[in-house]
Amino acid sequence: MNLEQIINFLSTYDQEDIKIMEVCGTHTASIFKNGIRSLLSPKIKLISGPGCPVCVTPSSYIDKAIEWSQKPDCVLVTFGDMMKVPGTTKSLSEAKAEGANVKLMYSPQEVINDAIETPQKTYIIACVGFETTTPTYALIIEQLENKKINNVKLLTALRRVLPALEYICETDTEIDGFIAPGHVSTVLGSEIYYKVAKKYKRPFAVAGFEAEHVLLAIFDLVKQVINMKHEVHNLYPSVVKPEGNIVAINYIDKYFDIKPAYWRGIGVIPDSGLFLKQPFRCYDAGSDVLPSENEEMLTKCRCGEVILGKITPPECSMFSKICTPQNAKGPCMVSSEGTCGIWYRFSKENG
């Protein structure tokens, strides 16, 4: 068996329609970059999933971050991805243009050094991410404790991927199988999908991000669906162990509690949020912000449906007309892992 045979199988497949969800935005980008859709039979559909943490961060969170950035002696530190995400009235980058104190980081680690050097300022780290990123923030809290640093706080919007997948399985019966997010799986392990695979009878393939990885995962899932199997296969063994990175998992458990959390465009998903545990709440910058009831109604952005795989971006009437990366109406357009932004970039590149 070789790659050619796999591609041949996938391009000539002619049985029941199969829908496969790639959960992670980095997979979505890889699928576009490598032209994978053009290698598949029209009977195999790839649907983008909820794996873009920036896209599901509520606008009230952005508002809160902006509020901090406008306080005297406060610096809001963030990854670049968050800058253009619209809040209720503006984005962080608009706030910065108006003079707010917003600073970009390569790693949260550098904030510790800044905080030690400039004790008169308070640093608020915008902590957005899934389980891949959460251990990094646990390590930050540990250092704040050990070094007795009290001018750093965390504004968290940390989410767990698995409850979102369960939510999709509960509400959407059309997805036949999942390409599991590679780097979330690096931290949590491939075994975490067993329960969902069994309960909802859906196969999972944990995959890396190269073209071969993705093609082999699609092949595996199509074969499993045809043969009515729902197993979890780890196709990224170089960095994913069945049990995950136990040290990282223990760090998450030590510093974070599991609670219900709000996903922009979707609503509250049980057990899907990670919030600082009680003894460490002193480092929290007010992360429990709940969205105002109608915050999502204000725009006609359909990110929620895009994230759940119910529509593709061009089905949103604003896509590429009113909504572009330069003037985004929703978070899915601004993030490098957002489905709308990826579709926009590649449709421009390929005419």
Partner 1 sequence: MCVAIPGLVVETDGIVGKVDFQGNILNVNMAIVDAKIGDYVLVHAGCAIEVVSKSRAEEIAQIFAELESIYNES
Distance CA 52, CA 27 (A): 11
Please say whether the beta carbons of 66 and 93 come within 8 A. Answer: no
Q: Does 342 bind ligand SF4 (CB under 6 A)?
A: no
Distance CA 125, CA 102 (A): 10
Q: In angstroms, give the least distance from the CB of 128 to partner 1.
A: 7
Ramachandran assignment for 231, one of left (phi > 0), alpha (psi -120 to 50 degrees), beta (any other): beta
Q: In this structure, what are the phi and psi dihedrals at residue 279, rounded to the nearest 5 degrees?
A: -60, -15
Q: Does 56 bind ligand SF4 (CB under 6 A)?
A: no
Q: Does 238 bind partner 1 (CB under 8 A)?
A: yes
Amino acid at 151: N
Q: Does 84 bind ligand SF4 (CB under 6 A)?
A: no
Question: Which of 306, 309, 337, 342 forms a contact with ligand SF4 (CB under 6 A)?
Answer: 306
Q: Choosing among partner 1, ligand SF4, none, which partner's interface includes residue 228 (Cβ < 5 to 8 Å by kind)?
A: none
Question: Which of 10, 65, 161, 301 forms a contact with ligand SF4 (CB under 6 A)?
Answer: 301
Sequence length of the chain is 351
The alpha-carbon radius of gyration of the chain (Å, integer) is: 20
Distance CA 296, CA 317 (A): 17
Element counts in the chain: helices (H) and strands (E): 14, 11
Name the one range near ligand SF4 by CB under 6 A: 14-22, 175-183, 288-296, 315-323: 315-323
Beta bridge partners of 177: 20
SS (H, E, C) 317-329: CCECCCEECCECC
What is the DSSP code string of 116-155? Answer: HH-TTSEEEEEEEE-TTTHHHHHHHHHHHHHTT--SEEEE
Q: Does 329 bind ligand SF4 (CB under 6 A)?
A: yes
Tell me the per-residue interface mask from 249 to 288 with ligand SF4, x by CB under 6 A, - otherwise.
----------------------------------------
Q: Does 243 bind partner 1 (CB under 8 A)?
A: no
Among residue numbers 104 through 123, which ones bind partner 1 (CB under 8 A)?
106-110
> What does the angle CA 237 – CA 167 – CA 284 come to, to the nearest 5 degrees?
80
Q: Choosing among partner 1, ligand SF4, none, which partner's interface includes residue 298 (Cβ < 5 to 8 Å by kind)?
A: none
Q: Does 52 bind partner 1 (CB under 8 A)?
A: yes
Given strand 204-207, what is the order of strands in its sheet? 44-51, 18-24, 177-180, 204-207, 232-235
Q: In angstroms, give the least distance from the CB of 325 to ligand SF4.
A: 10
Q: Choosing among partner 1, ligand SF4, none, which partner's interface includes residue 303 (Cβ < 5 to 8 Å by kind)?
A: ligand SF4
Q: Both tokens of residue 178?
A: 């999942």
Tell me the per-residue interface mask from 186 to 215 with partner 1, x by CB under 8 A, - otherwise.
xx--------------------x-x-xx--
Residue closer to partner 1 by CB (options 27, 318) is 27
Q: Both tokens of residue 13?
A: 């497949």
43: which residues sit within 8 A by CB, 6+ positions away? Answer: 13, 14, 15, 16, 17, 18
Name the one range near ligand SF4 by CB under 6 A: 12-20, 93-101, 176-184, 330-338: 330-338
Whose CA is closest to 135, among 338, 285, 274, 282?
274
Q: Mapping DSSP to helix (H, G, I), strand (E, B) and coil, where does residue 185 land?
A: helix
Q: Choosing among ligand SF4, partner 1, none, which partner's interface includes residue 332 (Cβ < 5 to 8 Å by kind)?
A: ligand SF4
Q: In angstroms, give the least distance from the CB of 17 to partner 1.
A: 19
Among residue numbers 124 through 153, which ones bind partner 1 (CB under 8 A)?
128-130, 132-133, 135-136, 139
Site for ligand SF4, rule CB under 6 A: 301-303, 306, 313, 316, 318-319, 323, 329-330, 332-333, 340
Site for partner 1, rule CB under 8 A: 1-2, 5-6, 9, 24-26, 51-54, 79, 81, 106-110, 128-130, 132-133, 135-136, 139, 181-184, 186-187, 208, 210, 212-213, 216, 219-220, 223-224, 227, 233, 235-241, 245, 247-248, 251, 335-337
